[in-house]
Each structure stands twice: as structure tokens, then as C-alpha cells.
Amino acid sequence: MDERNTTTITESQLPQADRDPEHMQGHWVLAKLGKRVLRPGGEKLTKRMLAHATLAGRRVVEFAPGLGRTTKLILNAGPAGYTGVDRDEQVVNIITPLAASANGTCIKADAAHTGLPDESADVVVGEAMLTMQSERGKRAIIGEAHRILKPGGLYAIHEMGLAPDDLDASVKDAIRRDLAQAIKVNARPLTAAEWRTLLESEGFEVLWTGVEPMALLRVRRNLADEGVAGVLRIVRNVLTHPDLRARVMRMRRVFDAYGDALTGIAFVARRTD
Ligand SMILES: C[S@@+](CC[C@H](N)C(=O)[O-])C[C@H]1O[C@@H](n2cnc3c(N)ncnc32)[C@H](O)[C@@H]1O
């Protein structure tokens, strides 16, 4: 069977697996517990997004492939080329054999400075990686996507959103503060209008937007994303790792506290110039 449908990731391959659980970034805590889909709107929103970004026969660059679930979807769509870009060496080691199964590669680089040639991609995909950057960091990565895309090329992103667009500034600040404490990442989600303005100001026109609930730690979402066997593995790990369990409970309390104000949001945007 094809490499891309069979890969299993062992605990020792995971980023930050040897770190004290109290200091691990939230997504790697979840990965250590067995989660593989690490984006806020789940695989459903990913699939909706990819359906609006033709991949077959296109040169695709994926920023921050993580554990490779979207990589598999991209490769199964039959792209003309695939390049993953992640700043974490362990991620690169996970993605490289997957990419190689379709003559692709994965490079270790910051998505803000990929070193890839100008206008060498038709589609750039990036999920759950802009939210964790500062305003300047977000702009640098979006600008890099613009540089490596050919004019008219598509940039597909899936990130954490805030709703509604007129959410009170004090609530936004509280969400950012509580998220940072719970997930140990300076997460700065934006409203739909703010994401759109950011993309437009970096030379993109938004073609499509989709929203799903931010249900990363909900049972139903995990059944959809990880399957029954995956959920059972996660539950077993949660029960047997009290230190990781404490981290997950703290994350869940924050996600629950803000309810509908936190979303998974995706955009497909076109390079306009
Ligand atoms: C939350 S995980 C998301 C992984 C995957 N995209 C998913 O949705 O399941 C964040 C990923 O972004 C990568 N990352 C974060 N900032 C990055 C940057 N500036 N350049 C490249 N990779 C980055 C991390 O190494 C990690 O693999």
C-alpha cells in the first residue's frame, strides 16, 4: 500500500515529546496524547477549503504540515509538485518520507523565509500556524506566500477566528491572554474582518471563506477527525498521563469559557498582483 496511507507516528518522533509537560506547546501536548488533526476547524473545514483550491496538476507548497494529515489529502489530489515547509526538524523528518512518496520534499525553514524561488508555486496551503505569530510575523508569512506564488496563484489558510467582527476589545485581550497561558503559545486569533483585511493588505483577494466551531477538544469532532480507535487511544493516554491531562483540562476550560467567540475559520485567497 502507498506510504501516504499507512504511516504511523511514534511518540519519540513527536516534537517536544521529551519536554516537561508543563512547558510543552498545547498542540504538541495533544499530539503526544494521540491527536493528529491539530487545527481549530477540524478536517471538515480543511476539506471544504481544499475543495476551493484546485490541487490536481498544480505545484503546491504547504506551510507547517505538522503531522501530515493535510499533506496526505494534498498528495492524494495528484499535485504536480509538493514542498512542505516547517521550522521543526522532527516535523520535517515525519513529512519527508510522505512527500517523497509523490516525488515531493519537505524543508526545514521558517515560513517567513522559505528560500523557495519567486513565483514557483500555484497553491500555498497553511493551517494553524498564522494564529501563533505576532502581527508582524503574520504579515511576513503572508508576504512570503505572495512572493512564492505565481500571479493569480491561490493561498489557502485555516486559522483560529474571533466572532463577531465587533467583539469588544477587552474580550479579545482576555481571550489572547487566557489562550497564551493555557496553550503556552502567544496565540492571536483575529475576527473574520481582520483576517480578510490582513490578506487584502498583503496583495490577496478573498475568493472563499468558511467557518466551523472551534471544537478541537470535543468528542464529536475527535470521532470525526481521529476515528473511534483514535479517540480510544487518546482517552487511554489522558487517563494514564495525569500531567498531560491537567494541561488538556486547562485548555478545554479556556475554549469552553469563550464558546462561540472562538471559531475555526478558513480562507482561499488569490494573489492579485
Ligand atoms: C498547531 S501545528 C499545526 C499543524 C498542521 N498544519 C495541522 O493543522 O494539523 C503548528 C505547526 O506550525 C509549525 N510552525 C509554526 N510557526 C512556523 C513558522 N514560522 N514557519 C514554519 N513552521 C511553523 C510548527 O512547527 C507546527 O508544525
Q: How much is the pLDDT for 137? A: 97
Atom of ligand 1 nearest to the CA of 110: 20
> Does ligand 1 lie within 6 Å of residue 266's CB atom?
no
Which of the four CATH numbers 2.60.40.10, 3.40.50.2300, 3.40.50.150, 3.40.109.10 does domain 17-271 have? Answer: 3.40.50.150
> Does ligand 1 lie within 6 Å of residue 110's CB atom?
yes
Closest residue to atom 8 of ligand 1, CA basis: 39
Closest residue to atom 10 of ligand 1, CA basis: 129
Collapsing DSSP states into helix, strand and coil, what is residue 180? Answer: helix
Phi-psi domain of 204 (left: phi exceeds 0; alpha: psi -120 through 50; beta: other) = beta
Which letter does DSSP use for residue 138 in this model?
H
> Does ligand 1 lie within 6 Å of residue 29's CB atom?
no
Q: How much is the pLDDT for 4? A: 44
Q: How much is the pLDDT for 7? A: 56
Peptide bond into 164 cis (omega under 30): yes
State the pTM of this model: 0.94
Closest residue to atom 16 of ligand 1, CA basis: 129
Question: How many angstroms separate the alpha carbon of residue 82 from the centre of ligand 1?
Answer: 17
> Does ligand 1 lie within 6 Å of residue 64's CB atom?
yes
> Does ligand 1 lie within 6 Å of residue 38's CB atom?
yes
Question: How many angstroms separate the alpha carbon of residue 39 from the centre of ligand 1?
Answer: 10
Question: How many angstroms separate the alpha carbon of residue 24 from the centre of ligand 1?
Answer: 14
> Does ligand 1 lie within 6 Å of residue 88's CB atom?
yes
Question: How many angstroms separate the alpha carbon of residue 205 from the centre of ligand 1?
Answer: 24
CA 145, CA 115: separation in Å to the nearest integer? 11
φ and ψ at residue 22, rounded to 5 degrees: -65, -25
Domain range annotation of the chain: 17-271
> Does ligand 1 lie within 6 Å of residue 226's CB atom?
no
Choose which residue among 86, 110, 136, 179 to substitute to test ligand 1 binding: the one with the highest number of ligand atoms within 8 A of its C-beta: 86
pLDDT along the chain (273 residues), means of 10: 56 80 88 89 97 96 96 97 96 96 96 98 98 97 98 98 96 94 93 98 98 92 94 93 92 91 97 92
Atom of ligand 1 nearest to the CA of 129: 12
> Does ligand 1 lie within 6 Å of residue 66's CB atom?
yes
Write the CA distances from 138 to 101, 112, 129, 161, 261, integer angstroms. Answer: 31, 8, 9, 14, 21
Terminal CA-to-CA distance of the chain, rounded, Å? 42
